[in-house]
Amino acid sequence: PAMCSSLRLPRGGWTAPYAVAPDTLINNELGWKTSWFDERLILNGALYQENWNDAQIGALDASLLGGIIINGGDYRVRGLEISSQGRLGNGLTIDVGVAWNHSELIREAAFFWADGTPINFSTLTDQAGRRLSNPAGVHGSPLAGAPPFQGNLRIRYEIDLGGYDAFAQMGAVHQAHSLATVDRLTLDTQGNSIYYDLPPFTTYAAALGAERNGWRVQLYGDNLTDERAELYANERQYYKSITVNRPRTIGLHVSYKFQR
């Protein structure tokens, strides 16, 4: 997560800490790898909980005219990942992967006034009367850059064509919405919140190819629908800047694998 707010508020503003404590990440995971029906079906997965305490985040201290590192709050992340592969015979293979992720802030970061008094954001409002919130994330809010769901699918068909090992495949990747930051307090120069909610997206890809005697030729297409997926957004240049995925890409790949 990232936080950027000068907090030019009463009582001399906020004071940055003199030192930063180390953050700790403890991961508890239960995983499995299984195969069924003479390995025609492979099913793997993992169930996990991560405890991330004193997460180190970036902040803007106006008195220092620059950015600093401070300790944020504590996060708890719970998730489930499953990957499977099914070989259906006659050269057909299906791969599926899904991941569910639930993250939440269980302890807010501590900020202090210049006189050492803790800042209680719930009692503060801006000039427009808007209630202020902890810029490092409010209790129960998710991590930035942590979509609650991701999934992918690939279908591949292989066949022998006159001595050539030919194949055709297609696939899709889906990602749910995610947050660019946990900071609900900071506004950009146009007065808009930088709490950007990046929308979900789905991309598709396909390939055709053949190989023989170490040579391989493949015609491929990535992001076939030319989806403009928003991967990240920030206002570091004083306007909303969005990082998107690569546009539709179609190409021909030729390679040779040398034999020992």
Q: What residues contact 242, with CB distance under 8 A and at least 6 apart?
A: 230, 232, 233
| Lowest-pLDDT range of 48-52, 108-112, 142-146, 207-211 | 108-112
Answer whether residue 41 shows pLDDT above 60. Answer: yes
Q: Is the pLDDT of residue 213 over 80?
A: yes
Q: What is the pLDDT of residues 21-32, one digit of tens each?
A: 899 999 999 999
Least confident span in 42-51, 116-125, 140-149: 116-125
Give the number of other Cβ atoms within 10 Å of residue 15's Cβ. Answer: 16
pLDDT level of residue 184 (50, 70, 90 thresholds):
confident
Q: 3-state class of 105 per DSSP?
A: strand
Give me the pLDDT at residue 64, please: 46
Q: How far apart are CA 232 and CA 142, in angstroms?
A: 16
pLDDT band for 9, please (50, 70, 90 cuts): low
pTM of the model: 0.85
Q: Residue written as tokens 């099914």?
A: 86
